[in-house]
Amino acid sequence: MSTAVVARLDSAGDVLITGPAVRAVATAHDRVVFLAGPRGGAAAALLPGVDEVLEWQAPWVDFDSPALTGDHVEAVVKQLRDLAPDRMYVMTSFHQSPLPLALVCRMAGVPWVGAICEDYPGTLLDLRHHVEPGVPEPLRALSLVSAAGCGLPAGDDGTLRVTYPAVVPERLRRRIGQGPYVVFHPGAAVPARMPSVARSAAMVDALGRAGHRVVVTGSSSERRLTEEVAGGHAVDLGGRTELHTLAAVYARAAVVVAPNTGPAHLAAAVGVPIVSLFAPVVPATQWKPYGTDVTVLGDQRAPCRATRARRCPVPGHPCLDRITDAELVSAVDAAVERREWR
C-alpha cells in the first residue's frame, strides 16, 4: 500500500486551492495524508481524496508561530517517521521556499520529495519543478503532481471541490430565513485585502436597498466586525458556522461577495457565483477565486499593486473602498441572474 503526504502549511484558502492536486495524487496512491498548519486543518478535512489530516505549525510560515526549536521539529519528524510515506509533495505559493520542509522530510527519512523550487535544493528534492510566473495557484499545484506522474481521474474537470453537509443545519436555516440570499463576507486575515469596516457596512446597506436579502458571515474572532457590517440591514452569522457548515450556507446562496480570503476559495469550491473584492497587493491572475463564475471588482492598477502589503500603504484604501455601490449592485444583479438560469 503506497502512502503519499501532501503538505500545505498556511491558511484555509491555501489548502483549498490544492484540491485538484490532491485528487490527482489520490489516483496514484492508496492513501493520502494532508500535512496542514493549524489554520488549514479544517479545510484539509473537506478535500476529496484526503484520508487523514496531520497538523503542525511551521515557524517559517505563520506570523504568530513559536520560535523554532529542536523539540518542535522533532515532533513532526516523529509523525512522518511513523507514517513512513513513499512520497511527499510540498505545496507552496510562488513566494515561498519549500526547502525548510524538505529538510524536515529528509530528517524523517522520506525517500522521495517533490516541490516547485527556484532555489538550488542540493539533495533535498527528488523533483525540482519549475512553473512560470502568473499561473493560477490551483494549476500551479496541479502541475507539480502532474510532473510526478499523478493525473486527475477521468471526468475530473480540475475545479475546486469540497465535501459539505447536504443541508444547512436547522439553527442556521431559522436564522437565515426563507427565500434567496446574497452572502457578504467582509473579513480577511490580511487587513490590506479587505474593505474598511465602514465601506463594507455601506455595501451591505446598498445591496439591501437594491432588494437583496443579505447574510453576513465571519469567524468567531470576527463577530464584532460582522455585527457592525450587518447593522440593521442583514442577517449576522458571525461566529455561528464551522467551515463545513459555512460551505453549506454558501452553496445555497445566490452570490457570495468576499475579499481575497479563504471563504472566497470555499465559495469557488461549492460552485456559487462570486463577486471578488480583490486588492491588487497580490496578482488577481494567480489568486482570484478559481471558479467558473467570478467577477473581480477593485482597481487592479492601484499604487499598492504587487506590494504584498499586509496593511494598505495608500491613504483611503482606494483599491477597495472606491468600489461604488452601483458597481457592486450591478455585479451582484448580473450574477444572480446567471444563477437563476442554472
The H or E element spanning position 138 is: helix 137-147
pLDDT at 340 (0 to 100): 61
Q: Are residues 60 and 181 in the same domain?
A: no
Q: How far is CA 129 from CA 104, 110, 113, 146, 158, in A?
A: 19, 18, 11, 10, 20
Q: Considering the domain boundaries, does residue 163 fall inside one?
A: no
The more confident residue out of 119 and 94 is 119
- Tens-place pLDDT, residues 232-257: 889 999 999 999 999 999 999 999 99
Q: Are residues 255 and 179 in the same domain?
A: yes
The string of DSSP letters for 229-274 reads: HHTTTSEE-TT---HHHHHHHHHTSSEEEEESSHHHHHHHHHT--E
Q: Considering the domain boundaries, does residue 108 fall inside one?
A: yes
Residue that has been written with the C-alpha cell 473584492 in this structure? 277
Instruction: Identify the band that residue 323 occupies on the pLDDT scale cut at 50, 70 and 90.
Output: very high
Q: Are residues 188 and 318 in the same domain?
A: yes
pLDDT at 95 (0 to 100): 79
Query: Residue 309 has which C-alpha cell?
Result: 502589503
Q: Considering the domain boundaries, does residue 73 fall inside one?
A: yes
Asked if 288 and 294 touch (Cβ cutoff 8 Å), the reply is yes
Q: Which among 115, 147, 179 is the end of a domain?
A: 147
Least confident of 129-133, 267-271, 294-298: 129-133
- 10 Å Cβ neighbour count for 134? 10
Using H for helix, E for strand and C for coil, what is the string for 66-80? CCCCHHHHHHHHHHH
Q: Which among 94, 115, 147 is the end of a domain?
A: 147
Is the pLDDT reported for residue 259 higher than 80? yes
Comparing C-alpha atoms, which of 291, 211, 223 is closest to residue 256? 291
First-last CA distance in the chain:
42
Residue that has been written with the C-alpha cell 467558473 in this structure? 292
Mean pLDDT value across residues 163-172: 94
Q: Are residues 141 and 19 in the same domain?
A: yes
Query: Residue 108 has which C-alpha cell?
Result: 524523517
Least confident of 66-70, 82-86, 98-102, 123-127: 66-70
Q: Are residues 178 and 127 in the same domain?
A: no
pLDDT at 341 (0 to 100): 46
Q: Are residues 254 and 320 in the same domain?
A: yes
Q: Considering the domain boundaries, does residue 315 fall inside one?
A: yes
Mean pLDDT value across residues 300-327: 91
Looking at every residue in the chain, the average pLDDT score rounds to 95
Edge-first strand listing for the sheet containing 113-116: 52-55, 31-36, 3-8, 87-90, 113-116, 127-129
The string of DSSP letters for 144-191 reads: HHHHTT--PPTT----------SS--HHHHHHH-SS--EEE----SSG
Three-state secondary-structure class, residue 44: helix
d(CA 145, CA 249): 32
Least confident of 49-58, 290-299, 333-342: 333-342
Query: Residue 81 has which C-alpha cell?
Result: 517517521
Domain count, the chain: 2
Mean pLDDT value across residues 113-120: 95
- Four-CA torsion 143, 144, 149, 150, nearest 10 degrees: -80
Find the CATH number of the domain harbouring 302. 3.40.50.2000
Q: Considering the domain boundaries, does residue 74 fall inside one?
A: yes
Is the pLDDT reported for residue 335 higher than 90? yes
Domain that holds residue 122: 3-147
Q: Are residues 132 and 246 in the same domain?
A: no
Burial label for 86, CB within 10 Å (0-12, 13-18, 19+), is middle
